[in-house]
Amino acid sequence: MWPEIDPRDREVLDLIMGLSKAVRCCRQDEVFCEDVTFTQFLILDRIAGRTELGMVSLHAELGVDKSTTTRLVAPLLRRGLIARERAGHDSRAVVLTLTARGKAVHARVWQCLADFVRAIQAEIPARRREGVLKGAGAFLQAMQQVADRRYAGNNPARCCAGASRHRRGSAG
């Protein structure tokens, strides 16, 4: 027998599923533009915002473990878009910098991304644009807060554990 499902819960789940499908261009393995994936662009962009970026900081910013960060950085190193060097303050630490080629690719991908974002915004009626963005931001923040609590201790299996306790207001 199927559990009774609140129509609002179904609406939110459908929204999450729709968003997941809509952002498929931003998956790790999908080329976005300039033969760079969206995640690789995020790495280039994080490095471009600084003179250099430590691998430890990059792990935290991407929200992935060290081995995943290393795997994501490797193609950028092979293509000569970033350079990896020992940190001056600690010979065990590694810092990443953009190469001249990396700076050029970063700029071209930013232009491609800006065109993409403008096209998305053009699909939203101007009078609703600010409200849609604020609402989407609030929804994202709520999802992140719940996910952070659920994944505390780095245990993805806990994602849906105790959902009914949380819905009733229990601390879980």
Q: What is the pLDDT of residues 82-108, one digit of tens each?
A: 999 887 777 778 899 999 999 999 999
Q: Are 35 and 97 within one domain? A: yes
Q: Are 114 and 144 within one domain? A: no
Total structural domains within the chain: 2
The answer to whether residues 106 and 49 touch, using CB atoms and an 8 Å cutoff, is: no
- Tens-digit pLDDT profile for residues 5-35: 888 998 998 988 888 888 877 776 667 788 8
Cα–Cα distance for residue pair 73/128, rounded to 1 Å? 38
In this prediction, residue 153 has a pLDDT band, given cuts at 50, 70 and 90, of low
pLDDT above 50 for 41:
yes
**What b/e string do you get for 140-150 counting C-beta neighbours within 10 Å, with b at 16 or more?**
eeeeeeeeeeb
Is this model's pTM higher than 0.85 or not? no
Residue 141 belongs to domain spanning: 126-161
Transcribe 88-126 into DSSP letters.
SS-TT-EEEEE-HHHHHHHHHHHHHHHHHHHHHHHTS-H
The pLDDT of residue 28 is 61
The answer to whether residues 32 and 64 touch, using CB atoms and an 8 Å cutoff, is: no
Q: Are 99 and 39 within one domain? A: yes
Q: Are 65 and 139 within one domain? A: no
Q: Are 79 and 154 within one domain? A: no
For 120, other C-beta atoms within 10 Å of its C-beta total 10
Look at residue 147 and tell me if it is in a domain. Answer: yes
